[in-house]
Structure 1
Amino acid sequence: MKKFIWLLAIVALIVSVYAEDEIVVERTEFKHWNQFRGPNGNGQVMGKELPIEFSETKNLRWKTSIHDDGYSSPIIWNNQIWLTAASYDDRKLFVVCVDLKSGQILHDKEVFDIERSELQSKRPNSHASPTPVIEDGRIYVHFGTYGTACLDTETGQKIWERRDLNCFHEVRPGSSPIIDDDLLYLIYDGVDKQFIAALDKYNGETRWLKYDRSWKTNKSGMTAKSFATPTIIEHLGRKQLIAPSADYTIAYEPKSGDELWRIRHPEVGMNVASRPIYKNGLVFLTTGTSKHLLAVNPSGNGNVTDTNIVWRSQQSIPDISSPLIVNDLIYFTNEGDVVSCLDLKGRENRWKGRIGGNHWASPIYQSGKIYFFSQEGRISVISSGTEFKKLATNDFETSFVASPAVSEDALILRSATHLYCFSQTKN
């Protein structure tokens, strides 16, 4: 009997530890929105309540004009907001810093000057599409083949730069950089060659470089192109760098670059753009133009396509916008106006709803509410849960392509021409 009670106590302790881990992951407040999709790379927002109604006057704290062109999402460190921009002739590349409290521009620096731009595709994109990543005192800006630089956040001065890592984007770059420990990770999945690089974040020197990201070494063209941003996970005590390409999603050992495992994407690989999410011991990812949502067990070694894809869905899967996971439900919106909700455990389609608009920006979640941002200028707010419930619809005469950033009670949103700061006000 004593042994049985002792075993129950051990089980209860284990359950409480795992439950506490889940609470820490979901509820720990953060101060900085330091990278694409926030500090955990998953669109989860902690902090004070955000408003659900917005306009050019309602709940608007400030609005600042941003020059030229750019789809990079804003990032935040302390009271600084950073984003990038490209001149309309694609010859000059900039980084801009805005004061969080006032909207005043603090830095506006030309980072690179391009002698000749790539072929201009009709597909909408910008040379300033990759979102920077920031840490205390340093920001890392990435413009794909046109250059990567580390800048001092106080002065805006360049600490180091690299312009020798090159590919042919054709439709301009899209993959955002990430940092982990002392390494900066960059993906170059062009139409001519595809590789991933790990740089020393302090001096920009190459630590490792991998070119094995396509299923054929001679593959080229748009079907080799990818825009995805990698993510770092820790699964069963093993840290992994999850880096989608057009054909595969590949897991690397972050320090050495050694390949751990890979899965082959179904059908024709092309234009993978969303960022993978790790939840409940699985990696969830979308496959771009082939429109699959995959749930992958990130265990094992080698090509695990036949064994580790736990389930898949083809129901209204987006090309570009990243999914959002809340509890055991996954939400996403496609290039049409449909929002879908799937059950992570049973893979059941819980519901579909229409919010209007074409969505490239990735959604965010806070306190039971999910926010979507469309290219037609609509901000839609719905309730999370097993039923579709629309809370608010807000229409602007602009376009939202960049994903938002959040700092405490402030929602920072980049439009085609301006940077907005919204927060709950009494007006």
Structure 2
Amino acid sequence: MTTDAARWSIATRVAFSVLTTAGLLGWAAPEAAGQNWPQWRGPSSVGISPESNLPTRWSTTENMAWRAPLAGLGTSSPIVWGDRVFVTSQIGSARVAPGSHPQLARDNRSLAERESAIGGRRSASDAEIWLVVEAFRRSDGRRLWQYRTDATGPLPELHEKHNLATPTPVTDGERVYAWFGNGQLVALDMEGRVVWTRHLGIEYSPFEAQWGHGSSPMLHGDLLLLLCDHLPSSYLLALDARTGKERWKADRGAGRVSHSTPVVIPGPEGDELLVNSSERIDVYDPATGTLLWYADGDRQTPIPSAVFHEGRIYMSRGYRNSDYMAIRPGGRGDVTKTHIDWRAPAGASYVPSILYYDGLLYLTNEIGVVTCADARSGERVWQHRLDSVFFASPVAGDGKIYLVSETGETIVLRAGREPDVLARNDLAERFIASPAISNGRLFLRSDRTLFAVGN
């Protein structure tokens, strides 16, 4: 658990506020599990909703259920459970790394000019920084509660495009787990009360990573899984979700880089935990942390996560104009030559993850080009230029593909073997976070605002 100094700091300096409007804290079970979006990229981490009648067109005045200002800035994605939407943010400005910061669309000057720092401009760091978790009522956007604690311990230098509120929280319907880019971790009950806290940046090693930490937490059974590939120390950690106590820790050396969120997939002999990192793809037993197999070679700055469908893993490693591949799970040792079914040499994204939907793969690259490929072979079906800046990973449902651009637009495509743009919906704010889908609505998070789109 936390060191005595860290525990004292957290216990004495936490601020927790509850809006006391009558009835706001009454908790009801979710209406249906399929309507929840409990983690980054939703159920099973694949970015797909089974719902129908999802919105196609909207604006600031049309088909907008509600919008809610957030307490601070952030780039984490919203999650939804029952009638609650959870999101994290940061109050105050964290340190950014000195010098120039690379832009995603630097190979397209007109697109690069539309990129900006979080909040619209680079700000000087503040002496005090607060980390925030908020809960909103899904039906009307009313804020139900807010938890905040001050950022403690070593604070990393970040890329200007994000802050410490980058990892997306996760929930099991009993607790919400929020992790921040300095290693602070809190488990809250559904009414915002603290269940337990940890500070991995103090207890294990400082969260020093190139451009800051980006990986999100994930749940598997009663385990909370956390990827910490950082320069001083690299490791994979499993905590007891109920108590926060360590269940296992897999040391991965030092100097590894990964901003990717791990995923659990069903293997032929049991579940497998896949990590996309700078040295290679590693796969572990999620129950014990034992390394099972690995594939491929080194890659600079891996960010995308894998998706799984019917016996195949689909993923890109990341970086510019990345290759992408299909891999069969279930190997042992180095499976590079035995389990990679196909590999396409280019067209995948630097940041967003692949979307698998109805037999097709959808990928975006760093200059706003969308590629659709056949999942069986990896062969290109079509490409289409959208002139957008994509950091958010695409999601799909109701026969539609949703692509959220930093520039404020969400482009809606008809899923299929021909490029068909149904709508371009501009909310005139900066969007880095990936969307969530629940109960017929699309939930979008800009730097400072939470939007609920749809009736």
Give the Cα separation in 2 of the matches to 1:379 and 1:417: 17
Deviation at 1:113, TM superposition (A): 2.6
Query: Which of 131, 142, 145 is 1:104 aligned to?
Result: 142
Q: 1:320 aligns with which of 351, 355, 370?
A: 351
Alignment partners' CA distance in 2, 1:401 and 1:375: 6
Offset of 1:170 from its aligned partner?
Answer: 4.3
Which of 188, 209, 225 in structure 2 is aligned with 1:169?
A: 209
1:25 aligned residue = none
Aligned residue in 2 for 1:362: 393
Aligned letter for 2:143? I
Query: Which TM-score applies when normalising by structure 2?
Result: 0.81
Q: Deviations over 1:17-37 (max 9, x none)?
A: xxxxxxxxxxx9702110000
AA aligned to 1:61 is A
Alpha-carbon RMSD across the aligned residues, in angstroms, is 1.7
Residue matched to 1:235 = 267
Runs (5+) with no aligned partner, structure 1:
1-27
Q: Alpha-carbon deviation of 1:136?
A: 1.9
Q: Which residue of 2 aligns with 1:93?
A: 131
The aligned residue for residue 200 of structure 1 is: 240
Alignment of 1:51 onto 2:82? no
Given that residues 48 and 408 in structure 1 are in contact (C-alpha distance below 8 angstroms), is that contact kept between their aligned partners in structure 2?
Answer: no
User: Deviation above 6 Å: which 4+ runs of structure 1?
Assistant: none
Runs of 5+ consecutive residues of structure 2 not aligned to the other structure: 1-31, 95-128
Q: Which residue of 2 aligns with 1:70?
A: 74
In the alignment, is residue 185 of structure 1 matched against residue 225 of structure 2? yes
Aligned to 2:299: 269
Deviation at 1:280, TM superposition (A): 3.0
Which residue does the alignment assign to 2:330?
A: 299
Distance 1:421 1:145 in 2: 29
Normalised by the size of structure 1, how large is the TM-score? 0.86
Map Cα deviations across residues 149-191 of structure 1 (whole Å, 9 max, x no partner): 111112x111111112433124222111111111100001113
Greater displacement, 167-176 / 385-394: 167-176
Trace 1:91-170 onto structure 2 (pairs within 5 A). Answer: 91-122=129-160, 124-154=161-191, 156-163=192-199, 164-166=203-205, 167-170=207-210
In structure 2, what residue type is equivalent to 1:161? T
Match of 1:310 among 311, 317, 341: 341
Residue 67 of structure 1: CA displacement? 2.5
CA shift for structure 1 position 260: 0.8
How far did residue 299 of structure 1 move? 2.1
2:410 to 367, 371, 379: 379
Residue identity opposite 2:189 in structure 1 = D
| CA apart distance, 1:282 | 1.3
Q: CA deviation at 1:250?
A: 1.1
The percent identity for this pair of structures is 30
SS at match of 2:337: helix
User: In the alignment, which of 249, 254, 259 is matched to residue 281 of structure 2?
Assistant: 249
SS at match of 2:372: strand
Residues 99 and 260 (structure 1 numbering): CA distance in 2 closer, same or farther, change over 3 Å? same
Higher relative contact order (CA 8 A, sep 6+): 2
**Larger CA deviation: 311-320 vs 129-138:** 311-320
Q: CA deviation at 1:372?
A: 0.5
- Mapped to 2, the partners of 1:174 and 1:344 lie a distance apart of 28
Distance 1:327 1:237 in 2: 26
Cα gap change, 1:114/1:89 in structure 2, threshold over 3 Å: closer, same or farther?
farther
1:357-379 CA deviation, whole Å, 9 max, x = no partner? 11011111112111100000111
